[in-house]
Chain A
Amino acid sequence: MKRFYYFIKKAFQNLRHFFLINLITVGIISLSLLVLSTFFMVFLNLQTYLNKWKDQIQVSVYLADSNTPEDISLIQKKINSFPQVKKVSLITKEEALSFFKDSFPGQRKALESLKDNPLPASMDIQLQDEYRGPEELNFFALQIKKIPGVEDVEYGQTWIEGYANFLRFMRSAALAVGVVILLATIFIISNTIKLTLFARKDEIEIMKLVGATNFFIRVPFFLEGILQGLLGAFFALIILFVSYQLFSNWIAQSSYFSLKFFKIFFLPLPHLLLITAVGMITGFLGSFFSLGRYLKYE
């Protein structure tokens, strides 16, 4: 425990003694992690928006005019018994007409000239999350179509397929870009630390000369690497948060109508911890691999 306290003290002392070089290292780590966390944030926000669209996916079932109210409630019961179904809402012929009149007031006269209500009764079905894929939707629609009294089923087939393809592409692209950025971050951080150590190879040599064990030399350097990573992550996230605040305010005050409804959210806690962990682990690994080379010499 006493030793550990000594090592921590030593690591902080080194951070202070090599202030400029450590400042540069922490700065570079911050920048790399800022790129990584910005990417994370953009991706997560985009994904949430895409998922919101998914929430709006619903199946519309149009009923034949010949159905009696009893038939309709039987159909509703049948539909409700499917495991895919989350919620069914019935829109009667009358409700459909009044909705149409409200939506298209210009057409009111034309509708009133008709003797009968031309709009069919329908049901809007919301599905459980796991049944919203294109294949699942198609399968569900086919089954519903078989129910007597159902005239037509619609769920925006082409749109959903396109959407599903886009989502798939987005995920693979994000994964690829994310991995590249992560690797670049690790590469930059470990090389920066390597440079810091290069500047201090004399110190390592002297410590070996006076009889320091490799363990004794290593631990403060590892702690220093971890601290650099931690500080780098801290500054990166602060910069990200401030930029996020400024950007959100700019959007809220924007004169573009469509932007006003666009709400972005900050990275959730698990992601913040993940980025901090990436910083600390890379800081540690950076010093681990770079130190090995200097410790080889006796």
Chain B
Amino acid sequence: MIQMFHVYKNYSPKYPALSDISLKIEKGEFVFIFGPSGAGKSTLLKLIFGAEHPSKGQIIVNGMNFGRIKKTTLPLLRRRMGFVFQDFKLLNHRTVFDNVGLALEVVGLKKTEIKRKVQQVLKHVGLLSRINTVPLVLSGGEQQRVAIARAIVNEPALLLADEPTGNLDAELTKEIMKLFKIINAWGTTIVIATHDKNLLNFNPTKVVALEKGKIKGMFVAGRKSSEEADTREGSIN
């Protein structure tokens, strides 16, 4: 699903955001990119969805080399991915229906089809009753569920989340993580960037620990990764 070969990203030559990142994420995996603030987690996600380009190295997502794709192809690739952010990134003046439907509108789906799919996905995230409200009157957990609904309504192969529980309390975090687990069970690959150690309890298939732009260690469910890059000894926590 995602392959990175010796990827570097420099915003300034003195302080590289990422150095020599090599990793492989398989289809259907549930992966955490874990590390403190400033470790380069968000940059890594940005590289995966093409918002940033690597300074050096190769990135292959869904079989496409991101270093070589045309600018016009990027939107088409994004339609096969979903995104969830800490600050939800919802349109606050539009209804829940409009927010979720936006992802289907850009694909050019018919109105009736959009309605059917939005209702279906809102049912899954438990927000069907809130379909006509605006995000501002919803709680943080509900807003994040709307964002998740928008991310999965296109049935993407890959879901990327950047600190999705950063604004939520422990109870809501549990709720959102459960939802991610369900989505993963449907076959969607999930990559979550987080600094929250507690999330690691939600049985990831892989944890990539980042520190100062480098992979500090990699943990694969049940064992330490051996085939992937920089696997130094030491546990991740």
Which residues of A line the B interface, CB within 8 A?
3, 17-18, 202-203, 205-214, 216, 297-298
Chain A residue contacts of B150, Cβ below 8 A: 210
A209 is contacted by which of B52, B89, B107 (Cβ under 8 Å)? B89
* Residues from chain B with Cβ under 8 Å of A203 in the complex: 91
In the docked arrangement, what's the CA distance between A18 and B93, Å?
9
Nearest CB of B to A217, in Å: 9
A209-B78 CB under 8 A given contacts A216-B106, A298-B51? yes
Our pick among B72, B94, B106, B154 for the contact of A212 (Cβ within 8 Å) is: B106
User: In the docked arrangement, what's the CA distance between A202 and B154, Å?
Assistant: 21
B213 within 8 A of A: no
Decide: A211 near B107, CB < 8 A? Known: A17-B94, A202-B91. Answer: yes
> How close is B160's CB to chain A, nearest CB, in angstroms?
10
Given A210-B78, A213-B75, A205 contacting B89 (CB threshold 8 A):
yes
B50 touches A211 (CB 8 A): no
Say yes or no: A298 contacts B72, CB within 8 Å.
no
Closest CB of chain A to B88's CB: distance in Å?
Answer: 10
Closest to B102 in A: A210
- Closest A residue to B150 using CB positions: A210
**Most chain B beta-carbon contacts within 10 A, residue among A18, A213, A214, A297:** A213
B7 CB to nearest chain A CB (Å): 17
| Distance from B139 Cβ to chain A, minimum over Cβ atoms (Å) | 20
Expressed in whole angstroms, the Cα–Cα distance for A206 and B51 within the complex equals 12
How many Å lie between the Cα of A3 and that of B94 in the bound state? 21
Question: Which chain B residues have a beta carbon within 8 Å of chain A's beta carbons?
Answer: 49-52, 71-72, 74-79, 83, 89-91, 93-94, 102-103, 106-108, 150, 154
CB-nearest residue of chain A relative to B147?
A: A206
B106–A211 touching, CB < 8 Å? yes
Which of A202, A212, A214, A297 has its CB near the most chain B CB atoms (within 10 A)?
Answer: A212
Q: Nearest residue in B to A205 (C-beta to C-beta)? A: B89
16 of the cross-chain contacts (CB-CB < 8 Å) are: A205-B89, A209-B49, A209-B78, A209-B89, A210-B79, A210-B83, A210-B102, A210-B154, A211-B76, A211-B77, A211-B79, A211-B107, A211-B154, A212-B75, A297-B51, A298-B52
Q: How far is the CA of A17 from the CA of B83 in the complex (A)?
A: 25
User: Are A211 and B103 neighbours in the complex by a CB distance under 8 Å?
Assistant: yes
What are the 3 A-B residue pairs with the smallest beta carbon separation, nearest first?
Answer: A211-B79, A211-B78, A212-B106
Question: A20 CB to closest chain B CB, in angstroms?
Answer: 11
- Chain A hits for B77, CB < 8 A: 211
The distance from the CB of A286 to the nearest CB of chain B, in whole angstroms, is 22
Given contacts A298-B50, A298-B51, A298-B74, contact A209 B94 (CB under 8 A): no
Which residues does chain A contribute within 8 Å of B49, judged by CB atoms? 209
A3 CB, nearest partner CB in chain B, Å: 8
Shortest Cβ gap from A219 to chain B (Å): 12
Kindly state the separation between the CA atoms of A205 and B107 in the bound complex, as whole angstroms: 16
Apart from the given pairs A210-B154, A212-B75, A216-B106, 19 other A-B contacts in the complex at a CB distance below 8 Å: A17-B93, A17-B94, A202-B91, A203-B91, A205-B89, A206-B91, A209-B78, A209-B89, A210-B106, A210-B150, A211-B78, A211-B103, A211-B107, A213-B75, A213-B106, A214-B75, A216-B75, A298-B52, A298-B71
Residues of chain A within 8 A of B102, CB atoms compared: 206-207, 210
Contacts of B94 in A (CB 8 A): 17
| Interface pair B89/A206, CB less than 8 Å apart | yes
B93 touches A207 (CB 8 A): no
B50 partner residues in chain A, CB cutoff 8 A: 298
A181 to B: closest C-beta gap in Å: 35
Q: Kindly report which residue of chain A lies nearest to residue B52, judged by CB atoms.
A: A298
Query: Cβ of A18: which chain B residues have Cβ within 8 Å of it?
Result: 93
Inter-chain CA distance A210–B89, complex, in Å, is: 11
A155 to B227, CA, bound (A): 105
Residues of A within 8 A of B52 (CB): 298
Interchain CB contact (< 8 A) of A211 among B71, B75, B89, B93: B75
- Chain B's closest residue to A3 (CB) is B108
CB distance from A13 to the nearest CB of B (A): 9
B93 x A208 contact (CB < 8 A) = no
Residue of B nearest to A206 (CB): B89
Residues of A within 8 A of B93 (CB): 17-18
Across the interface, which residues of B come within 8 angstroms of A205, CB to CB? 89
For B108, the chain A residues whose CB sits under 8 A away are 3
Contacts of B90 in A (CB 8 A): 206
Interface centre among B50, B79, B89 (most CB of A within 10 A): B89
Separation in Å of the A232 CB from the closest CB of chain B? 23
Q: Which residues of A sit under 8 angstroms from B78, Cβ to Cβ? A: 208-211
**A211 surroundings in chain B (CB, below 8 A):** 75-79, 103, 106-107, 154
Contacts of B89 in A (CB 8 A): 202, 205-206, 209
Question: Which B residue sits closest to A209, measured CB to CB?
Answer: B83
